[in-house]
Structure 1
Amino acid sequence: MDLHAWVDAYLDHLRVERALSPRTLEAYARDLAKLCALCEASGISSPGELDATVVSTYLVELGRQGLGARSATRHLSAVRGFSKFLLRERAISANPAALVERPRTSRKLPKVLSVEEIGRILEAPDGRSFRGLRDRAMLHVMYAAGLRVSEVVGLKIADVDRKQGVVFAFGKGSKRRIVPLGEPALDALDAYLAVRKDHPRAAMTPALFLSPRGKPLTRQGVWKLLGAYARGVGVTKPSSPHKLRHSFATHLLEGGADLRSVQALLGHADITTTEIYTHLTDDHVRTVYRRSHPRS
């Protein structure tokens, strides 16, 4: 098979065996298509012709096209995954990306909302209407469980266990994790579910959070309503579903949670992804030290 056919086989592997989302598959397809284009321009048509020089040249070319280090790192990750697949299928005898170093990136600390700002946003929806009760419950669940926006809109009624006080979230790669919900979130859910059952199309869809037309909410819709509520209560910081997730993690660590627990709650496969939040709590630690230590 030529390089294009092997890329197609790899994407099938990711879709069937690893159950990656369509959005992730599209990103892999775009990244590997650029690799194939470079190889074609260099007269390379088979996997056996790939080597470290080709991969390094690929990264250099991405830089010439204006891609930053973070984007180039993502492309290299796609090539590494593809190379491991070729090795497993015995299409190549050595990994061409094994010795290629990742581009150095400066890691930006995620900006978070304060506990007080979160509280104002959570109480912003009008609790006298279907839409307001739905939005209040959704915002409470997003913050209480640190969910991604895709996880929130994908929630079904069966994913909430009121008796145990937990929500079953399905993250990247359809991996399920169990996250506890606090009483405020559970109370907000109870109030919403009490009116949801009277929705004329409630029985026609298992989705937890419904639009007035009875369809599941969209990711874009959640972004818009969160931004509107934040502006409505005077929160001037940029607000987004992921800001709630960042705030959830930071507030847990400030409250004394250990890093491994936060990793499990967020659904991070690698703890280094979670470690970035430890930098956000440095000021909090210094404040506690100055307030608590007898010799500070």
Structure 2
Amino acid sequence: MSRPDRSTRAMHQALPPALRDAVDDFAEHLSRVRNRSTHTVRAYVTDLVSLLDHAVRMGCVDLAELDLSVLRSWLARQRTTGAARTSLARRAASARAFSAWAHRAGMLPADVGAALASPRAHRELPSVLRADQAAALVEAPARRAPRTAAPRSGEAPTRQAPPTTPPGSDDTPTRQAPFATAPPAGAAKDAATEAVPLRDRVLLELLYATGVRVSEVCGLDVGDVDHARRVIRVFGKGGRERSVPYGVPAQRALDDWLRRGRPALMSGHSGDALLLGARGGRLNPTTARQIVGGYAETAGLPHISPHGLRHSAATHLLEGGADLRAVQELLGHSSLASTQIYTHVSVERLRAAYRQAHPRA
């Protein structure tokens, strides 16, 4: 079973053996057959353990006794404890997925979850950068290094100096932003220190140029880049493969990184990873998020994450006239409904401009 939090593990252990086995088998199915990510499996397992714990409290000691009334009672209890509509929708989806699997496996006499309705999740429009703001962000590593993290309570603030240790210099996630303070003035810059801004530039360029997820860009290998066609091969959710084009600025950043940056950071455990941390390992998505946020702060831009850059890329593509189906394929959305939210973003930006500029708005 995937490693959920401590309370979920305790509830899992308290379940009757047959129910525990069902949870473990379902997790194995999600991981090996459905090829779901570790995070997805953990979320499904957490929801399922909560559901079965509720079922046991209602007197269900055997999985075959699970029925629609138990599922509805569980969701109602979640709602009364303050769960958001998005959380309720996800938990209902988890219950339906488990019910369908258990019925196919012969554990349930009927797919009781098929009739389970869930509240429609309210989708907020994602925040996006303007095109000029996105350009300023991806060019930031060439101009300046991001600010250092704020000192912890009890620590003296460190005076900002022209940094020679750029952001994201650690390829393992940390609680602090990875923007190390500068070494003493006059310290020589080594090749690895010079390489990190090149890595940061190619990270930002690829995120914005392709709209890929942060896990996808960090998972790229050197062989996934087709320089001749300016295309990267991406493995998305569920292991689905797609090819995504990128432009000339990203190509220049890639060329600089592969020629001058990556060789300086390579180590015995670099493997084929395209993006590396300062210790030579594959760049961690947590560190990548900190790099993006740090450069946005330094450039005086609104707070933005890698997913915000993905939103920005999709919105700018549609505003530039790209076909919705093409954007869906580029982003790796399995459903067109996921892509259509960006059309709403464009309309809202148009309305905002209208309200601001038109005298009779």
What is the TM-score of this pair, normalised by structure 1? Answer: 0.92
Residue 284 of structure 1: how far off its partner (Å): 5.8
2:259 maps to 1:194: yes
Residue 2 of structure 1: how far off its partner (Å): 2.5
Say which of 290, 299, 311 aligns to 1:233.
299
The secondary structure found in structure 1 opposite 2:263 is: coil
Structure 1: runs of 5 or more not aligned: 290-296
Q: Which moved more, 1:50-59 or 1:3-12?
A: 3-12
Please say if residues 48 and 91 of structure 1, whose CA atoms lie closer than 8 Å, have aligned partners that are also in contact. yes
2:186 maps to 1:121: no
For residue 205 of structure 1, what is the aligned residue in structure 2? 271
For residue 272 of structure 1, what is the aligned residue in structure 2? 337
Question: Matches of 1:48 and 1:72 in 2, distance apart?
Answer: 24
Question: Matches of 1:23 and 1:191 in 2, distance apart?
Answer: 34
The secondary structure found in structure 2 opposite 1:125 is: helix
Q: How many residues align?
A: 288
For residue 4 of structure 2, what is the aligned residue in structure 1? none
For residue 293 of structure 1, what is the aligned residue in structure 2? none
Please say if residues 111 and 243 of structure 1, whose CA atoms lie closer than 8 Å, have aligned partners that are also in contact. yes
Please say if residues 151 and 171 of structure 1, whose CA atoms lie closer than 8 Å, have aligned partners that are also in contact. yes
Residue 97 of structure 1: how far off its partner (Å): 1.6
Q: Which amino acid aligns with 1:261?
A: A
The secondary structure found in structure 1 opposite 2:264 is: coil
The secondary structure found in structure 1 opposite 2:44 is: helix
Residue 67 of structure 1: how far off its partner (Å): 0.9
The secondary structure found in structure 2 opposite 1:169 is: strand
1:237-256 equivalences under 5 Å are 237-256=302-321
The secondary structure found in structure 2 opposite 1:178 is: strand
For residue 173 of structure 1, what is the aligned residue in structure 2? 238
Question: Matches of 1:218 and 1:264 in 2, distance apart?
Answer: 25
Residue 45 of structure 1: how far off its partner (Å): 2.3
The secondary structure found in structure 1 opposite 2:141 is: coil
Please say if residues 34 and 238 of structure 2, whose CA atoms lie closer than 8 Å, have aligned partners that are also in contact. yes
Question: Matches of 1:229 and 1:281 in 2, distance apart?
Answer: 25
What is the TM-score of this pair, normalised by structure 2? Answer: 0.76
Identity of aligned residues (%): 39
Say which of 267, 277, 285 aligns to 1:219.
285
The secondary structure found in structure 1 opposite 2:233 is: strand
Q: 1:36 to 1:126 in 2, by over 3 A?
A: same
Q: Which moved more, 1:198-207 or 1:185-194?
A: 198-207
Residue 233 of structure 1: how far off its partner (Å): 1.3
Question: Matches of 1:58 and 1:268 in 2, distance apart?
Answer: 30
Question: Matches of 1:259 and 1:12 in 2, distance apart?
Answer: 36
Please say if residues 14 and 20 of structure 1, whose CA atoms lie closer than 8 Å, have aligned partners that are also in contact. yes
Q: Tell me the alpha carbon deviations over residues 95-123 of structure 1, each in whole angstroms, 9 at most, x when there is no partner.
A: 21222211133220111011000000011
The secondary structure found in structure 2 opposite 1:58 is: helix
The secondary structure found in structure 1 opposite 2:328 is: helix
For residue 170 of structure 2, what is the aligned residue in structure 1? none
Question: Matches of 1:23 and 1:284 in 2, distance apart?
Answer: 33
Please say if residues 160 and 168 of structure 1, whose CA atoms lie closer than 8 Å, have aligned partners that are also in contact. yes
For residue 71 of structure 1, what is the aligned residue in structure 2? 87
Question: Matches of 2:352 and 2:342 in 1, distance apart?
Answer: 17
Question: Matches of 1:114 and 1:197 in 2, distance apart?
Answer: 31
Please say if residues 149 and 242 of structure 1, whose CA atoms lie closer than 8 Å, have aligned partners that are also in contact. yes
For residue 111 of structure 2, what is the aligned residue in structure 1? 95
The secondary structure found in structure 1 opposite 2:242 is: strand
Q: Which amino acid aligns with 2:286?
A: Q
Residue 65 of structure 1: how far off its partner (Å): 2.1
Q: Which moved more, 1:194-203 or 1:43-52?
A: 194-203
Question: Matches of 2:221 and 2:197 in 1, distance apart?
Answer: 19
CA-based RMSD of the aligned residues comes to: 2.0
Q: Which amino acid aligns with 1:231?
A: E
For residue 294 of structure 1, what is the aligned residue in structure 2? none
Question: Matches of 1:126 and 1:27 in 2, distance apart?
Answer: 39
Question: Matches of 1:288 and 1:243 in 2, distance apart?
Answer: 21
Please say if residues 4 and 36 of structure 1, whose CA atoms lie closer than 8 Å, have aligned partners that are also in contact. no
Question: Matches of 2:349 and 2:129 in 1, distance apart?
Answer: 14
Q: 1:283 to 1:30 in 2, by over 3 A?
A: closer
